[in-house]
Each structure stands twice: as C-alpha cells, then as structure tokens.
Amino acid sequence: MTETATNTSRLSKIRSYLKRFITFFGPALIVSIAYMDPGNYGTDIQGGASFGYSLLWVVWLSGVMAMLIQYLSGKLGIATEQSLAENIRQKLGRKLFIIPYWLGSEVIAAATDLAEYLGTVVALNLLFGVPLIYASIFGAADVIIILGLASRRFRLLEQILLLVVSVISLGYIYEMFIAKPDLYSILSVSFVPHLVNSNALFVAVGIIGATVMPHAIFLHSGLTKEKALGKTLDERRKMRKMHLVETIILLSIASMINAAILIMAAVAFYPENSQIQSIAEAYRTLIPIFGAAAGVIFLVTLLASGIASSAVGTLAGQMIMEGFLGKKFNIWLRRIITRFINVIPTTIAILLGLDPLHILVYSQFALSMLIPIAVIPLVILTMNKKLMGEFANRKVTTTIACVFVGIILTFNFFSLINTS
C-alpha cells in the first residue's frame, strides 16, 4: 500500500469516527451544565473569598470524582438500555421500598432546582434592576420557555446548551485574563489537601455537593439509554468509548470553569473582602477592582448558567419520576410543578430578607449529604457482571469508585460533627 493510500485510509477512519462522535454527542454536554450551575458559583465564591486559593484542591478532586461517576452512569444506560432510576426500581421490587427512595430522589431534584432558580433570580435583579420579588416570578418561566422551544427537536436543546457552555467558558477566559492570578500559588495548593478550620470543611463539602451532582447521575444514564436503544452489541461498544471521551472533555471544561470562579473570588476578595455576604456584594466589589465589563460578564454567565441548568434539572426530575414509578407523565405538568415548587420557598426567603448566596451554599451542603442515594447503587449496579455483561467495571474501576464514595461519606460525617 502506498503512502498516499495509507493517509487516505487514515483520513477516512478519522472522518468516520468524527461522524459517529457527532451523532452520539450530547449526553455529557447536557450533564456538564449541572456542573456549572449557580450552586457552584455560590460555593466557589464563598471558598475563594474566605480561604483564597486553599480550596482549589477540592475543586480538582470533585471534578475527577465527577468524571468517573458520570462515566459509570452513562455506561449503565448504554449496557442495560435502562436509566439508573429504572434499575434501582427493579432491584428494590416492592413499592414499600421504591416510594421512599423516589421521594428522597425528588428532594435532590428540588434542592438542585432551588439553587439554579436562585441564580436566575439574582442575575435578573442585578443585571436589569428587576426587584427580587418580581424576578422570582419572571424567573419561573425561563425553563418552560426553553424546553418548549426544544420539545419537538431535542437536538435544538443540545445546541442551546452548547452555546451556554461557550458563553460561560469565554466569560471566564476574560475574567482570568484581567484577574492575573498568581500561578505559583495556584499550583502549590492544587495538589496539597489542606483545611484551615471547620468553616473551610463546611465550604469544601458544599463544593463537593455542587460538583458531584446526584440529579446529574440519574440524568446521564437516561440520556445514554435513549442513544443505546435498539443498538447492536458492537455499536454499544463504540458508544461506550465515545461516551468516555465526551465525558472527560466536557467535565474537564466544567472543572476549569469552577476553578476559575474560585480563583477570581480569591484574587478579588481575599483577604481584604473575605466576608463577602452576598452575590450582589460580590458583583459590586468586582467593578472597582476589575471594571464594569468584568461585573457584567460575571452576571451574564450567572444568568446563562441559571437558565440552562434549570432546564437540565427539570429533565433530570422527569427521568427520576418516570424511572422510579415506571409510568410516563405529562411532560408539561412535570415541568410546571418542578418550577413552581421552588417559587414558594424562594419568595418566602426573599420576603424574610435571607440572602440568596447563603441559601445557595446551604442547598449545596444538603446535596452533598444526599449524594450517596445515587452513587452507592450506581457503583453496586455497574460492578454486577450479570447485569452489565462485558461492560461491568474492572476491579480497579470499582476500587477507585469505592474510594471516592468513601471520601464523600468521610467529608459528610466530619462536617455534620462540626456543624452539630
């Protein structure tokens, strides 16, 4: 075979792979939005403002844990052609066990959507001067509008979310350019676990809760399941490889954005303004330091994050309900209920004068406590050779996953002791 023929063959294989990858592309993109939601803004701003760069190692650790856990979730959908919720329902068997597990998972969806909804409300208030009480009402319609536009073409939703990821990424490239962080300090703390006090532990648990998202774990398996339905074993083998590549790329981007939020907060607020008490205060403090453009970009990325992650959270809630109950529900009814459930507590919180930043941090702390509901059964199911066949975890994969679960449980345990 000539060199020209060899090059032509390689190009043909690359084109074929890219075509298959583009066809498959989407599940990790949608899930990655959950890792850039307003909950991450809340915990990362709190972490950077209060402790400088010192919690960066938690961001990187959380990102690595998220990659493996989301990979296992997507692989479960490809191998079984069922979502995580459907698999758990089959294993539990009786409604006596299924209903409480479903309700616990719905609490996850509600807590997640609360953070996303709050991000939208705060961004509308600060960007356009809409009073918080009215912003809480206007913000209720965002997810319904987006999912309505994409209801007939799911690919359109993926394209909208790709645009959102691009907006957030470009926004934080600009923020890093003007912040000019200390690279040596960043590297020195990125790989050295260190917690200065119990408050740092609380924020670290919040960062983990904001990064390893339980609702995204349920969602990823449902999205890959839809791609795998009716596919041959060979096709699903190829899908698993593409799923791995997509997950690593998209969640690496999400981890870098989370790190950028914390770094920006550390540069702008630590230690002189370490007692930042609200997102509004963070925004107003940014402007004299980095300029008006930096403040506006911060709010634009927050608004994009809030709206997009709300859509993702609603999809996750829908998959949780249908997976555990084994029934199809009216998609619009689910969307409206999910959104308006959070209007009530958010409106009450605003009327009581509670700050959204504190609500964001506490909601992410609660999410971290609920991670085991999704992660523990996921690890057990994906190591089951009878269920997974050749897609079952290797021993080293299961070992690393168990270590990650142990880290999450240990953080939660010590945090509960220190806050009780």
Cα 76 to Cα 191: distance, rounded to the nearest angstrom:
31
What pLDDT shows up at residue 158?
Answer: 80
Mean pLDDT of 271-293: 80
Rg of the chain's alpha carbons, rounded to an integer? 21
The DSSP letter of residue 394 is P
Mean pLDDT of 390-407: 94
> At residue 341, does pLDDT exceed 70?
no
pLDDT tens digits, 204-263: 888 887 778 888 999 999 999 999 998 999 999 999 999 999 999 999 999 999 999 999
Cα 151 to Cα 331: distance, rounded to the nearest angstrom:
9
The band of 6, judged by pLDDT with boundaries at 50, 70 and 90, is low
Global pTM?
Answer: 0.89
Mean pLDDT of 381-397: 96
Q: DSSP secondary structure string, 177-207?
A: HHH---HHHHHHHHTS----SHHHHHHHHHH
What pLDDT shows up at residue 149?
Answer: 60
Mean pLDDT of 341-362: 67
What pLDDT shows up at residue 145?
Answer: 67
- The upper half-sphere exposure of residue 343, i.e. CA atoms within 13 Å in the direction of its Cβ, equals 17
